[in-house]
Amino acid sequence: MKILKKVLMAASFSMLAAGLTAPASAQEVWKIGTAAQPGTVLYDIVMKFVNDFNAVSGPELKLEYLMIGNEQEMHQQVVRGRIQAGASSFAGGAITVPEGAVFNTPYLWRNDEERAWVTDNYGVPVAKKLYAEKGLELILVSDVGWNDIICKTACLTPESLKGQKMRVSPSPASRVVFKQLGANGVQMPLTEFWPGLQSGLVSGGDLPFLYYVTTPAAQSAPHYVMTRHYHHPSTFIVNKALFDGLKPAMREKMLKALPDANWARKQVADTEKPKMKEFVAKGGFVHELTDAQREAWAKVIRPGQSEMVQAIGGKAQQVFDALAEGKKVWAEKHEKKK
């Protein structure tokens, strides 16, 4: 019996010693998937969030950038928990949350000030509920930039695109724009767009400049026409189950680390003009349009708004109505200031 007690006591001391010397649990790493590439302001905005969070998160959790060129695939990976977070756009998430594409409604906004105010105060609350229904926590809506037309040759008028093979993104806004313009739309993901331009399968499409200029499209389709036909907000998402499972203090740290939406919008706006000058200096073409020239595009494209909302279905009309109400309130506020 005494021998057994000694053996048990020795075993207990061994277990205690092992517990005291065992290494701490490994740090958890969350991937944030995005198509934003190093050297771009969009990447810098993502990395500000990553770095600011990592600076305060402590030893339990860190964020890590992950390049994923296919935004639709990225959203599905976040929904399934294969990666934990993502940064994209409403258009990039249109397959997962179709109603988000309403934010890309062509020629919806009067100006940037209206767009930002209405989005923050009327759009985001509705969008958060829709994303939550799909298993995603929408933690930030800021800015990617305006979509403009890109072509292999100068395409300065709506008529110049009739019959042309143009890449159509999975976004309903892209489909309605090229349908209204009478183009021959070819739907393809971004990963197929670059070889499609090089091979002549398509002769153009539409992209925000700060993304466009980082891709092979800037060489294959060097004409950038500033139609400003619809705007891309950016979206930061997290798998909802994982986000809800974080300790409250960690969730608070993550939300506080997010960049301010208006700061991010200013980064995009301030970066675009210098980048356009660099692009032109290297042989590219940026075609600025007068208000009258842009209105010529709007007159052709704008009538497709209601068709687009109906085609999206689901709660798209609810989103459109929320944005319309916000536009009305914004207009009334600014009328009183005059």
Q: Where are the domains of the chain?
A: 26-337
Give the tokens for residue 73: 């695939």
Q: Does an H or E element contain 244, and which?
A: helix 240-245
User: Which pLDDT does position 318 carry in this prediction?
Assistant: 96
d(CA 238, CA 87): 9
- Distances 31 to 85, 137, 143, 237, 242 between C-alpha atoms, Å: 6, 15, 21, 11, 12
Give the tokens for residue 119: 């989005």
pLDDT digits (tens, 9 = 90+) for 11-64: 443 433 334 333 345 689 999 999 988 988 899 999 999 999 999 999 999 999
User: Which pLDDT does position 10 carry in this prediction?
Assistant: 45
Among 330, 260, 268, 261, smallest CA distance to 113 is for 330
**Backbone phi and psi for residue 30, each to the nearest 5 degrees, phi listed first:** -105, 130
Give the tokens for residue 113: 């000030």
Dihedral sign computed on CA atoms, order 150, 152, 156, 158 = negative
Helix (H, G, I), strand (E, B) or coil at 134: coil
Whole-structure pTM over 0.95, yes or no?
Answer: no
Dihedral sign computed on CA atoms, order 90, 32, 215, 201 = negative
User: Which pLDDT does position 15 carry in this prediction?
Assistant: 37
d(CA 179, CA 164): 11
Specify the CATH number for 26-337; select among 3.40.190.170, 3.10.300.10, 3.40.50.300, 3.40.50.1820: 3.40.190.170
Residue 165 burial (CB count, 10 A): 18
User: Which pLDDT does position 329 carry in this prediction?
Assistant: 96
Low-confidence stretches of the chain (pLDDT < 50) are 1-24
d(CA 125, CA 111): 21
